[in-house]
Amino acid sequence: MKILKVLEHQSDLELEQLIKAEKNSSQLRIWQVLYFIKTNYGVQAKTISSIFGLAVSTIYHKVQKYNKYGKEGVILLERGGRKRFYLTLEDERNVLNSLTSKAKDGLILTMNDIRIIFERKIGHEVSDDYLWDVFKRHNWSKKSPRSKNPEQDLEEQEKFKKNSKKSWSP
């Protein structure tokens, strides 16, 4: 097995400070591994793997990144988040806010009216799913009257029309 060696990007004291200040458990483990390798010359990756619960390949990879790029090479990126998007949340909010008064007055009849505005802003076509996701993100909902009652009975309606009074009084 290879003998692991960590270059002098940080002193032992600086690595200790990084360990004490770290709040992310995964990042803490990486700083501990680097500190352990630095203070224990000749230690093998398999030994470190069993101590810290990391794969041997991960240890080799992190040591290589640290030696090549220094501290920035092993800093973990935050997971999750919105990585692919056409517009920022603020831009989406601004577009929808500009449509709010039209929507309240009933001037926006279909999603295609909104699609045109978004496509002009983005510069290319967008899918239905994208628009529905935008609506959901900003708590917009589709509000439209039903064309008819799904439980209506046409015979009952005709009977009511024939048997109802001609005039109503309060």
Write the Ramachandran bin of 80: left for phi over 0, alpha for psi from -120 to 50, otherwise beta: left
Q: What is the 3-state secondary structure (H, E, C) of 4-27?
A: CCCCCCCCHHHHHHHHHHCCCHHH
84 versus 64: the higher-pLDDT residue is 64
Contact 118, 133 (CB under 8 A): no
Contact 48, 59 (CB under 8 A): yes
Contact 56, 46 (CB under 8 A): yes
Contact 69, 57 (CB under 8 A): no
The pLDDT-based confidence of 105 (bands split at 50, 70, 90) is confident
For residue 53, what pLDDT is reported?
92
Residue with tokens 């101590």: 51
Q: For residue 169, is pLDDT > 70? A: no
Angle at 71 between CA 70 and CA 75, to 5 degrees: 125
Cα(96)–Cα(125) distance, integer angstroms: 17
The pair of three-digit structure tokens given for residue 80, joined into one six-digit string = 């999750």
Q: Model pTM?
A: 0.52
Q: For residue 168, is pLDDT > 70? A: no
The pLDDT-based confidence of 80 (bands split at 50, 70, 90) is confident
Least confident span in 11-15, 155-159, 163-167: 163-167
Contact 65, 74 (CB under 8 A): yes
The 10s digit of each residue's pLDDT in 21-60 is: 999 999 999 999 999 999 988 889 999 999 999 999 999 9
Q: In terms of C-beta density within 10 A (0-12 exposed, 13-18 middle, 19 or more buried), how is residue 131 classed?
A: middle
For residue 1, what pLDDT is reported?
64
- Average pLDDT of the chain is 88
For residue 83, what pLDDT is reported?
80
